[in-house]
Structure 1
Amino acid sequence: MKKLDLPVHMPSWTTMLPSLSWVTRISVRPGLSLGGASIMIAYFVTLCYAGVWESNIFSDPLRMGWVAISQLPVVIVLATKNNPVGILIGACYTRLNYLHRFSGRLMVIAVNIHALGYFYSWSLPNTASGTTPPTFNHQLFKPTHLTGFVALIAADVMFVTSLSWMRQRFHGTFKTLHVLGMIVFLIGCYLHAPQATAYLLIAVGIYLFDRLVRLLKTRYTTARVTALSELGMTRVEVLGTNAGWRAGQHVRVRVLERELGGPTGLGMLECHPFTICSVSESPSGENLTLMCKKTGMWTNKLFELARGMEYGSVSSDGSRAEKGSAPRDVRLLIEGPYGGPNHTIYSSFSGALVVAGGSGITYALGVVQDLLQKDRDGRSRLKCIELVWSVQDPSAILPLLHHFSFLLAQSNSKLYYTSLQISVSYTRCFANPPPHVVKVLQHLPAGLRVSPGRPKLQNILNSVVDRACALFHRGLEDDGRRAKPAGRSADSKRAGSRPAGVFVTVCGPQSMAEDLRRVVRSVDPDRRKRAGGVEMFDEVFGG
């Protein structure tokens, strides 16, 4: 008999204050909720008060300069991967990026207002003394003014290159100019205003601390890469690493191979984030596994590098590979892990809805596998899990069919108490689908459904909530299990007298996350209360 070690469920504020949560999660624009916009407005008002209250930006431009430099540590701490703000509030650095961009842009605006105030004063005649003031050029080329002007140009360059259209289309250029621009800005500020050295040292200290932590979290290792042609993805298995992360976390990868370096070799320095799709400390000994979708030049090169081994047929050593091919081992630097649920404990809930779009299945697989493993070990309260995957082509299911079948077989085993259902929806229909795809779709394992069209998320979520409640109350009567080991009934009843809520998590495009937020907000209040609350966690593409 294995003793249960059920996690304590702590409802979030969204469950305790559902009405306030409903308001704060209203979407203002894609990627920004009303709650986030309120934080930005409060921050903006605070800086306006500090900069212009009972002051004139033309007669007292120095004040705005101090406002700008005082925000430098804030901008830096929100940009780091390991920052105390994220640790305290339980948020990954990716969730703080919008505040980093906003605070950075306000700082640049303050720097420009500070400079314009001086430009204005230098252009005015000195009517009080009747003397001719120094020319604008004479003032500008004073050493302290010139270094300030250089810092101004660096700040403006960082501002322009950080705009979304530039950041998304020329990401390499954006990162390079961002780093060089910040170095020039810091040096320029030090030479321009030595009295602001304290702010500069704090900012540099925060950045160096982050780099040190990132270095300590970086490992040089070897990985085996294979190609998943149906998904347009590359499977990366990091050899010798099978512990040290939580479900839903991601790592940052640099592949040290000439094929990815390009003519200059700089491609080997590129760092890309990928979600971990395997479970930590797997009983099967499975290594840390990533699945990298082809979305740009670097990931396309990685896919071509992996084409030497197609993840389809079975090779002589038992791995799934293309006939006659050989696996390709690559050297890489892996940094992390980062992100994940942070303070949220998925296994403390009674029900789960895991939604994935396209390559977001990597995140979903990691979460589901982790929950099933915790259920087998007696460390989960979950009664039911629904995995929903939306893809364009139904053939995308083929490389993962064996994986889905294995998860469903686990769930149906007597060792597992959580029921699992998997739904795959495809949006691209064919008049004459390939025969091998038709054959697979006609012989799906029990618990796996494949259907055309977009998933009906509202109906699915309502079904998960109702199932979680029904299985929970059934568990109070007969221990909620299909086949129970003796002695677990008393432990099971420690789960409490009411369901512990349903968590909803999504990894996919921004539009999918927005749709799911609307679905969560529209859950009937009585159904939400009966389930113990419905909470949502999202991982979106882009940024």
Structure 2
Amino acid sequence: MNIPSSTVLAGSTWTANASAITVLIDLAWQSSPPPHYVIDRLSFQLLYHIDLIIISAFALIFLFRFPRLLARFWSISEIFGGLFLHHQSLRTRRRVQFNGEWGPNHRDLSTDNSHNRGYVPRSARRVSEKGSSVAPSYPTHVRPYPVFLRHVAQRLRRRITPGISVGNLITMVLYFSVLLYPGFYRANPFEAFDRYGWISISQYPFALAMTGKNNVLGALLGMGYEKLNFMHRLIGRIVVLSANIHALGYLYQWTMLGIIKTSVKTRMAFWGIIALICLDCLYFFSTSFWRNKAYRVFLSTHVLSMVILIPSTILHKFGTAPYVYATLGLLLFDHFFRLLRSRWTTAIIRPLPELGITHIAIPKVNAGWRAGQHVRLRVLSSGMGLLGWTEVHPFTIASIPNGAEGVVLMCKKAGDWTERLYDLAKSGGYHKGRGGGDHDPMKVKVWVEGPYGGTGHMMFASFSAAVFIVGGSGITFGLSMAQDLIRKDLEGHSRVKVIELIWCVQDPASLVPLLPIFTSMIQQSVFTPLRISIFYTRAPTGQFPFSEEFFRSTTLTLSPGRPKISKIIEGAISKTVSLGSEEFKERGRISGLGIGVCGPEEMVEGVFEEVEKVDPTRRDQVGGIEIHEETFGW
């Protein structure tokens, strides 16, 4: 077919003109791109630098806490302990040698000699496995802040609401202010809807980093994931709020232009709506009502929403890939280490009726945690119901490593799952071979994950005095911490010279099942005497479980009413100061009072209030006061 030369010339001219127009468009785009593109590119770059500022702020906090991190890793066991649960062969070795008339049972509940000022069992000495004397090696005590910042730190610790201090509030306000800036910088909030979409997506990684069980950020800062949960909730609200502003802005604009029906059918809008629904579900089902009343609903909706949210976000806008991949990487890292830190084994459960608690012992897991840490437990038994195996609950470890019972947990009846576990423990078969009608212990398969949490960079063994105030099932925290200090003291690895354990219960009969443990702890506290005070708030039903002559010393006391926290703190300070420099000559200067509190929010708040009232002079005399809290609830 012959084509006229004029047609060929015209086509060549048109192609040349089209190429020229394309080049001009590209140049115009680069010199003055469309407003939508400018805002999109500016938003990405702006939020990228805002995130760098946030990361830098966390880095500064880490540098501020770095000396305590170094002090905490003063021994190999501190570096690798508290990471992975495992089993090791039990070793019974002698730590103390007694001479003369004294023996390993030199202290009982009928004498106050152990609490005389300056009491030191001169016949006792620390020995190695070969019987040679052991030179003590004490951990370095590092203050959480310089002395000249004491007044500032004291004001920052003041509580505004349960669980939220002035310092927490300031942190949240600063974080919100930093993200408020990009919401208005060179953008009209009623027109630049993309900016708020970028704000929402840029916070995905931070929201996940604040709640992951295997939290690298928390480990560096010396804070468990549960201590960072207030920031997770704040960032989560920012994510949801920004996403809704972004979506509602576009819906309003499309409605005014009359193109909403065609716009919502596009790929970008469809997946954006899916992502928005997931975010709103995450927020709605994470409110306190669902966490406390239907935790399984809260957990399942969180998992399902996250599974859908991640791909829908990147399908909504491919440019969000860096943030989505970062979030996905943190998520996979967390779950990978959850599997590495999980053990499937057999547990022995038995009921403690006096406490309304299920005693759980896992003998095959007897090492790998620090005092004060907790594990997440899943019971794999048909006795827990059809879906009982799907529930995971956290419990503080009540024992210390290298014990015969292994991991010991005490689960209080406080809901359907815990009541089923208690009933399952009671269903152990009757064993006629034992006098008194005992029950054979029930054995169940469990999935135990952890350990998590703990006291972080705060080492109680580096203080001169330690006071533990616990309520109800919070005794698990108090037991593990007190036993840990006693063992470290026997090994010469503790500076503590005053140890007090205060336990608040409802019924005095609660003391009965734990009395052997308390007695053993008192007898083992050779160099640093332990004092245990139990307070009960209800009149005993039936016959009083103890004789009038049972409590004849200050070593173990049982009293009605609630403890006077101010009196307890002042007593610990006075006892520590009264020991004098001579008593602390071996262990260094007086290095402060460490207080551990575990129980309901009212108890925790009460302890903080009383510590705030301590006279500054008394604080200086004891070397400062520091609190570690563990609060019941989700």
1:233-248 superposed matches below 5 A: 233-248=357-372
Moved more, 65-74 or 323-332: 323-332
Partner of 2:229: 97
Q: How far has the Cα of 1:76 moved from its partner?
A: 1.1
Structure 2 residue identity aligned to 1:541: F
Does residue 20 (structure 1) correspond to residue 134 (structure 2)? The answer is: no
CA contact (8 A) 1:226 1:308 kept: no
Partner of 2:289: 165
For 2:414, what is the secondary structure of its paired residue?
Answer: coil
User: Residue 538 of structure 2: which of 428, 433, 440 is its match?
Assistant: 428
Q: How far has the Cα of 1:179 moved from its partner?
A: 1.0
For 1:200, what is the secondary structure of its paired residue?
Answer: helix
Structure 1 residue identity aligned to 2:277: I
Q: Structure 2: how far apart are the matches of 1:68 and 1:252?
A: 31
Q: How far has the Cα of 1:316 moved from its partner?
A: 6.5
Q: Structure 1: how far apart are the matches of 2:436 and 2:272?
A: 61
Normalising by the residue count of structure 2, what TM-score does the alignment of the two structures yield? Answer: 0.76
1:129-148 C-alpha deviation (Å, 9 max, x unpaired):
xxxx52x2221222211110
Structure 1 residue identity aligned to 2:216: P
Structure 1 residue identity aligned to 2:528: T
Moved more, 84-93 or 47-56: 47-56
CA contact (8 A) 1:350 1:472 kept: no
1:510-525 superposed matches below 5 A: 510-525=601-616
Q: Structure 2: how far apart are the matches of 1:536 and 1:445?
A: 31
Q: How far has the Cα of 1:324 moved from its partner?
A: 4.1
Q: Structure 2: how far apart are the matches of 1:296 and 1:188?
A: 36
Structure 2 residue identity aligned to 1:429: A
Does residue 114 (structure 1) correspond to residue 224 (structure 2)? The answer is: no
The unaligned stretches of length 5 or more in structure 2 are 1-132
1:143-202 C-alpha deviation (Å, 9 max, x unpaired):
211110111111111111111122211111011011111222222212111111111111
CA contact (8 A) 2:372 2:477 kept: yes
Q: How far has the Cα of 1:435 moved from its partner?
A: 2.2
Q: How far has the Cα of 1:52 moved from its partner?
A: 2.0
For 1:495, what is the secondary structure of its paired residue?
Answer: coil
Does residue 294 (structure 1) correspond to residue 413 (structure 2)? The answer is: yes
Does residue 444 (structure 1) correspond to residue 551 (structure 2)? The answer is: yes
User: Residue 218 of structure 1: which of 321, 339, 342 is its match?
Assistant: 342
Q: How far has the Cα of 1:241 moved from its partner?
A: 2.0
Q: How far has the Cα of 1:474 moved from its partner?
A: 4.3
CA contact (8 A) 2:431 2:439 kept: no
Change (3 A) 1:423 1:16: farther
Partner of 1:397: 511
Change (3 A) 1:80 1:296: same
Q: How far has the Cα of 1:400 moved from its partner?
A: 1.0
- Choose 1 or 2 for highest CA Rg: 2
1:113-512 superposed matches below 5 A: 113-125=245-257, 133-134=258-259, 136-260=260-384, 262=385, 265-282=386-403, 285-308=404-427, 323-411=437-525, 416-430=526-540, 433-439=541-547, 442-444=549-551, 446=553, 447-475=555-583, 493-496=585-588, 498-512=589-603
Q: How many residues align?
A: 501
Change (3 A) 1:409 1:516: same
Q: Structure 2: how far apart are the matches of 1:531 and 1:233?
A: 37
Question: What percent of counterpart residues are identical?
Answer: 39
Q: How far has the Cα of 1:426 moved from its partner?
A: 1.1
1:377-434 C-alpha deviation (Å, 9 max, x unpaired):
11111111111011111111111112112212222xxxx211211111111125xx42
CA contact (8 A) 2:431 2:440 kept: no
For 1:147, what is the secondary structure of its paired residue?
Answer: helix
Partner of 1:130: none
CA contact (8 A) 2:508 2:536 kept: yes
1:336-376 C-alpha deviation (Å, 9 max, x unpaired):
11111111111111001100011000110000011101111
Q: How far has the Cα of 1:473 moved from its partner?
A: 2.7
Q: Structure 1: how far apart are the matches of 2:364 and 2:604?
A: 34
1:11-43 C-alpha deviation (Å, 9 max, x unpaired):
112766221121111111111111001111111
Q: Structure 1: how far apart are the matches of 2:400 and 2:592?
A: 24
Q: How far has the Cα of 1:454 moved from its partner?
A: 0.9
Q: Structure 1: how far apart are the matches of 2:295 and 2:207?
A: 20
Q: How far has the Cα of 1:472 moved from its partner?
A: 4.5
Change (3 A) 1:444 1:103: same
Q: Structure 1: how far apart are the matches of 2:433 and 2:348?
A: 16
